[in-house]
């Protein structure tokens, strides 16, 4: 082995030995003050448990709301009366707290109201929660109900206005239907008149043809002028019959168009009625309810945290006391 490497090896061995000595010293200090650490930690945990046990139980009062709907967009999706973030901001910002306290005769110096909100994942619902002591949960339920009432009242004007717009549009469509029905009635009456006229022309033509045939069957000289008149009259009736038939076709086309307009207007009214029925104010999806178990104080968590913190403090205190003891001993020796 190289002589230069021996001092380095000795230095590494010395450092390793010193580390082991320091670790042993630490363990000795801990062992020496073990009862202080154990009893101190245990005592703090007991105190935390007693304090948690004597703290008032807090329950969560919650409900779920759905924003109002004021119609459908061009893709058939719901149009909401307000953005979820705006509604959450009003609730969390305490916009309605004073009004609720006044409505329920709550003394703000004795009882405070604080609502929290969260959006349910994958839905358009808003969950509203509040924390209340066990003896005040009924008041908490009433506060949530009152919050819903105030929200509904604030948006009621928008909802009514939107419904009114749909009612006006429906009324306009109904007036258009009446106009088209009146036009259709005129067309139908005209159709009946034309049909009757066609029947008359047809009967008249058939009568003239019979008379002409009778003349031709008679023996003797037949008047050429009479035959010419018969033929001319028959030809005129046929021409007139064709004209009436064309008018009938035009009338029936107009009647079909008027009927289609009426049907389309009725379909539009049905759609408007459907969209109007969708319009609604703030809706409670989950009625206000109280959690089955108290959410605070969390006794086990409090005791565990107290134990961890107390253990760290007791460890620090043990090393601090050991340091003081050694300092005093060194001063006495000197």
Residues 6+ away with beta carbon under 8 Å from 45: 303, 306, 307, 310
Per-residue pLDDT of 103-138, as tens digits, reads 999 888 888 899 999 987 778 889 999 999 888 999
pLDDT, tens only, 71-92: 888 888 888 998 888 999 999 9
The sign one gets for the Cα dihedral 96, 97, 100, 101 is negative
Q: Which residue ranges in the chain fall short of pLDDT 70?
A: 1-22, 218-224, 332-334
Q: How far apart are CA 192 and CA 251, in angstroms?
A: 10
pTM of the model: 0.65
Q: CB–CB of 59/294 below 8 Å?
A: yes
Largest alpha-carbon pair distance within the chain? 178
Sheet architecture: strand order including 283-290: 116-119, 126-133, 58-66, 283-290
Q: What local confidence, expressed as pLDDT, does residue 61 receive? A: 94
């Amino acid at each position: 082995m190289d002589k230069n490497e021996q001092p380095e090896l000795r230095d590494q061995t010395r450092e390793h030995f010193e580390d082991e000595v320091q670790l042993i010293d630490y363990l000795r200090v801990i062992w020496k003050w073990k009862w202080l650490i154990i009893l101190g930690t245990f005592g703090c945990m007991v105190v935390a448990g007693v304090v948690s046990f004597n703290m008032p139980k807090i329950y969560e009062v919650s409900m779920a709301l759905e924003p109002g709907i004021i119609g459908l967009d061009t893709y058939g999706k719901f149009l909401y009366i307000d953005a979820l973030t705006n509604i959450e901001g009003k609730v969390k910002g305490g916009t309605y707290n004073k009004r609720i306290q006044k409505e329920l005769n709550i003394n703000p110096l004795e009882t405070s109201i604080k609502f929290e909100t969260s959006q349910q994942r994958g839905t358009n619902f808003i969950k509203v929660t509040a924390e209340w002591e066990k003896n005040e949960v009924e008041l908490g339920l009433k506060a949530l109900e009152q919050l819903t009432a105030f929200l509904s009242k604030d948006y009621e004007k928008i909802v009514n206005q939107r419904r009114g717009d749909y009612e006006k549009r429906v009324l306009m469509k109904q007036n258009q239907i009446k106009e088209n029905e009146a036009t259709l009635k005129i067309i139908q009456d005209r159709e009946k008149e034309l049909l009757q006229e066609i029947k008359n022309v047809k009967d008249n033509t058939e009568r003239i043809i019979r008379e002409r045939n009778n003349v031709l069957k008679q023996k003797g000289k037949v008047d050429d002028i009479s035959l010419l008149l018969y033929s001319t009259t028959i030809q005129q009736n046929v021409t007139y019959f064709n004209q009436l038939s064309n008018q009938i076709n035009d009338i029936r086309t107009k009647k079909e168009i008027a009927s289609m307009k009426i049907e389309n207007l009725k379909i539009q009214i049905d759609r408007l009625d459907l969209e109007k029925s969708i319009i609604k104010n703030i809706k409670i999806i989950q009625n206000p309810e109280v959690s089955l178990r108290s959410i605070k104080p969390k006794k086990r968590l409090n005791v565990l945290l107290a134990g961890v913190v107390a253990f760290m403090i007791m460890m620090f205190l043990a090393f601090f006391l050991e340091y003081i003891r050694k300092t005093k001993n060194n001063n006495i020796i000197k």
